[in-house]
Amino acid sequence: MKKTTLFFVALSISIAGLFAQNRVAQPVSLPTNDIIPSERTCATMDMISQEELDAFQEWLEPQVQAYLQSQQQSGNPEVVYTIPTIVHIIHNSNEGIGSGRNLSNARIQSQINILNNDFRKTNSDIGSVPSMFAGITADSEINFCLIQTYPTGHPNAGQALPEPGVDRVDATTIGGGIANTTTGYSTSQIDGTIKPATSWNPNQVLNIWVMQLQGGLLGYAQFPNSGNANTDGVAIGYQYFGNNPSANPFHLGRTTTHELGHYFGLRHIWGDQNCGNDFVADTPTQQTSSSGCPNHPRPTCGNTGDNFQNYMDYTNDACMFMFTNGQKAVMQGILNPSTGANRRKTLNAASATLCAAAPLTANFTASATTITAGQTITFTNTSGGPNPITSNSWNFDVTSQGGVSPSTSSVASPGAVTYNNAGTYSVSLLVGDGTNTDSEIKNSYITVLPPGGVICNDITNYSGTASLLGSGGTGAFGWISGHNNFDDRAKADKFPAPAPGLFVNSVELQFAKKHAGTSGSTITVNVWNANGTGGIPGTLLGSQTVAVSSLNLYPTPTQVTFASPIAVTGAYYVGITFSANTGNSTQDSVALITNADGETNPGTAWERWNDNSWHAYSETPASWGLNMSHSISVELCNTATGVNELVKELPISIFPNPAKDIVNVILPSTENNEISVYNVLGEVVYQNNNPTSNKISINLSNQPNGVYFIKAKSGNQLITKKLMLTK
């Protein structure tokens, strides 16, 4: 069910009717060139509706008053907030660090220095403030730090960044039609694709995107309590970020200061209207924006002089150098950890961890973790720390099984390592920086099969317990098209990136209902990458067409094997699609079973609507608002010769995986079957050489957590699948 709901920020419903004319948020269209403009441009106020602004102001006023009252109480100290910051450098694929859009670390650090000076009133030009405003200049008591470790939600959470506070992104890797540019990106490209694909946890870090903007635009910000989480932050033209003499008159980094003022809730000083209101008491009302470097005083709107020296005006960088006490009160109210704005009030708390120097940490990855005897693996050293690493000690055969060449190494990047014998190998790395050491051991990390061997493991998002396996076809369903009244076109589940060396070989699905409108009715089982806009299904990597009439219904699964194993290098989606049934009275229809709400948290189920837009089941308010997974199991196999033919002849199902104690195995027939379970030491922990049923329930409650291998034999065919036991 899809819900259609009008969205307003809290409180806006009660006041929206008071305004006859509202600003409509829309992408900004600018000339496509890269010339430094003569006057400042900012798109922030064009990216937010009047309703949102009005609601924000009504919410903000009590926060500001609370801050002012707290400062009037004796003994109540000022609060200094620290903002953990990540700078996403979006650059062309042929630009090395320090070239073109791929800014140097020195340029990035210069901008952080500028921000800390501007927001702490330590800027060298603060003395240029006219005497009439000297009494209201503010130390906003906001500091900025480049984060040292990855925030929560990132795959490397807790680990040290190679470059503190810097995330360099090759534009050609973003997807969604983003490519190298010479003319810059539009705001619709940035908010629709670039930001969602590269955003880091906005509850813990300030996201700053630095890239080439379409000509004439210096930058823009997302106002507090507005917009989506994955677009929250500021976007700055790369020419105007940091100290850059060639960008004169916007060469001193004040564009970022200005946009962060918006990020912390400040409006333009002229209120974006003729003699408008910026809702700050100590900034004089002025007629319109300023440009260049006006002569002081310049009275307008009945004041004794415009405060065009303010960071929230449009003057040149060299002519803006102050915030006011009233503006400080707004920003402090926004950052208040108890009552502040969403995705702002939590930033300071995160700084204690993210801004601290990361400890020395050993870590590594492997080019493949499942191979056949005689193949090689390349290990990548991903260790890091506050000081340069001076020593490395690798052991590629911790348990001394033999047949590994080389078995040890003392270089940072050891090159190819050959595993000649079948078995399961642990790998370790010890690193040192001259003072401290740290080690990482990955137990049972490498699986080596005999030549020509096949190993597969099943990955599922659903639990495989009561709500699914006990539903008998009467539980929750994921309908697609046809008789469901919603005309959905596709269902899919999102899966994490597989271990290196594994391919998607087959998919197993549980259907509750099916209806073939014609004898030729089909569905398509698809694998997509996750590189679509905002991480939705992107490029189709592989598919297999299946007749609706051939689908099995619960409890018998439907297994679909792809003609060729499908390579996936990152997160991916697996699901089903077919076209709409417009004008067809005998409509096709299928129902893919899901588990119950909350059994998968966060949910992994997605659907594509009839307008071809993708939506997560967990999405609110537009979609279901439910945390669910479809009953889709993905079989990942190594690339050994003959894997497809073998799996086609010997399709077996294992669920759940990971398992707690009971694992279920379904074999294709009841005759000539053997099944056994081995631990990583090669010891048999379960064996049944003559099962009487093709459905076997194995109790492993007396076995410890870890990796196990289920070997199934049917006739002359043998296949091995990996099982994780987690209690």
Residues near 726 by beta carbon (within 8 Å), at least 6 away in sequence: 658, 659, 660, 705
Query: Which residue is listed with tokens 């003609």?
Result: 563
- Enter the tokens of residue 27: 């992408």
For CA atoms 209, 212, 218, 223, the dihedral sign is: negative
* Percent helix, percent strand, percent coil in the chain, to nearest 5: 20, 30, 50
For CA atoms 243, 244, 248, 254, the dihedral sign is: negative
Cis bond leading into 164, ω under 30°?
no
Single-letter amino acid, residue 338: S
- Enter the tokens of residue 300: 């307008």
Rounded Cα distance between 263 and 335, Å, is 11
Active-site residues, by number, are 259
Please choose, from the candidates 435, 427, 389, the residue with its C-alpha nearest in 3D space to the C-alpha of residue 408. Answer: 427
Rounded Cα distance between 12 and 64, Å, is 19
Secondary structure string (H, E, C) spanning 496-530: CCCCCCEEEEEEEECEEEEECCCCCCEEEEEEEEC
Cis bond leading into 651, ω under 30°?
no
Q: Rounded to the nearest 5°, which phi and psi values hold at 654?
A: -130, 125
**Terminal Cα distance for the chain, rounded:** 35
CA distances from 455 to 52, 393, 500, 585, 674 (A): 55, 30, 13, 46, 16
Rounded Cα distance between 460 and 655, Å, is 8
Which stretches within 570-724 are classed as H helix? 643-649
Please choose, from the candidates 138, 143, 94, 136, the residue with its C-alpha nearest in 3D space to the C-alpha of residue 117. Answer: 143
Length, in residues, of the chain: 727
**CA triple 177-181-182, angle to 5 deg:** 155
Rounded Cα distance between 490 and 480, Å, is 6
